[in-house]
A and B are shown apart, each in its own frame.
Chain A
Amino acid sequence: MATYLTVTGGLEDVKLHAVPCHIHYDGKANISQYFESNSRKSVEAMTASFRGRPLKGEVINVPHGYTGLVVKETRKAVTEDEDRHLTTINKFKEINYWNLDRTPCEDDKMKQALHWLDLAKVLHQPLEDESSQKSTVGN
């Protein structure tokens, strides 16, 4: 199975909220009206309420050199072996990340996922012979 991503030009920046809740719905929602209207941002904290539950949040920036993309699967693959086709619909620079009644911390999966980008960079960087030898030899 392969995944194909079609990137279209002229993508619009959108505001993204990641809530700790699976809503069984895919489509437009009255976010500014019902959610952003009750979310508050101060120096110390970001708070909101979703379906009566208290949320605590943080803005996570998309790391430098990366672009956040919102993709859509035009036709859902039926089997696991089938290729998947994704198309970009929007882009984003930051994620409003929300936890259920808990201040976001480094243990959160979203943050750990972003750490992978740094790790991946180190892992995939071509080794320079000299420097690697130097470090092996030590000082």
Chain B
Amino acid sequence: MDQTKYEEDNSKNCVLDSPVPACAKSEPCYLGIDEAGRGPVLGPMVYGICYSPVSMKEKFGEMGFADSKTLTEEQREKIFERMDKETDTLLGWVVEILSPTYISNSMLSRTKYNLNALSHDCAIRLIQNALDKGVHVTEVYVDTVGDPVKYQTKLKLLFPEIDITVAKKADSLYPIVGAASICAKVCRDKAVKSWVFSEGITMAEDTSYGSGYPGDPNTKKFMNDKLDKVFGYPQFVRFGWSTASQLIEKQGYPAEWVEVLEKTKVGIVE
């Protein structure tokens, strides 16, 4: 997956997509949505969609989209390569990379924008993206984020013409979601692996960031080694995660936001 466009400025979100096969415009299509890298404290989160004509369900199934979580990174890459060769006849895909800076800024903005809302909005943007491209979407399958009933209602209100199914573990239930999951995961893995630090930090060739979860020893090592006492962390880190904020609080210089200070003062007067 060519990510040159994202690498130009990895602090900004970026949409990457395949060409739209002609059959996806002329025939009713079903579309799957899934995400990768929701939990980790490091790197971007990626949302992916994959769509294909309903009439080609059988042929699509032959591509072998099992639950992408049971596949190895190499297997996923191979499947994605195969998928990418079918973009003129069988399927199309779109991914949106949500940069860690965007995630941090959203979660720590004045009006808090939580990860669930952020995820829902990204899924909505991607459905709209496919519609705008002229894809004849009639069915949508989504792996749920939060309560599936509420999420389904929200999507149905926005896209009343489309038959929408929101389910837990949709990636293993529906091959089209499995395919979306592969697009998202391949993209996220590559973005993390080839991350170029705008801070000029260079990592040793064989560095692993680990899973990005706080318990992982490699992730822990990165979080401990790369802390800057004034600025906290490079933009690769999601500041809204308690793992990051707690370490900054413990090891960085204390910092008080002016507006919080003002509020405190008012409190004393009262």
Contacts and interface: CB of A to CB of B under 8 A. Distances in A.
Interface stretch (B65-73, B114-122, B187-195, B253-261): B253-261
Nearest to B230: A29
B230 A38 contact: no
A38 B236 CA distance: 11
A54 interface: yes
A139 B31 CA distance: 77
Interface stretch (A44-52, A87-95, A111-119, A121-129): A44-52
A69 interface: no
Given A33-B200, A37-B199, A38-B101, A51 B255 contact: yes
A85 to B, nearest CB: 26
A25 B253 contact: yes
Main SS at interface, chain A: mixed
A20 interface: yes
Contacts of A29: 230-231
Interface string A81-107: 000000000000000000011100000
Interface residues of B, number: 33
Interface in B181-214: 198-200
A34 B199 contact: yes
Contacts of A100: 110, 257-259
B28 interface: no
Given A24-B253, A49-B235, A52-B105, A30 B11 contact: no
Contacts of A75: none
Contact of A22 (B104, B109, B248, B256): B256
A102 B231 CA distance: 20
A99 to B, nearest CB: 9
A11 B240 CA distance: 40
B108 interface: yes
Given A29-B231, A53-B109, 14 more contacts: A20-B259, A21-B257, A22-B256, A23-B255, A24-B253, A25-B229, A30-B228, A34-B234, A49-B11, A52-B105, A52-B232, A53-B257, A100-B258, A101-B110
Interface of B: 9, 11, 101, 104-105, 107-110, 198-200, 228-232, 234-235, 238-240, 244-245, 248, 253-259, 261
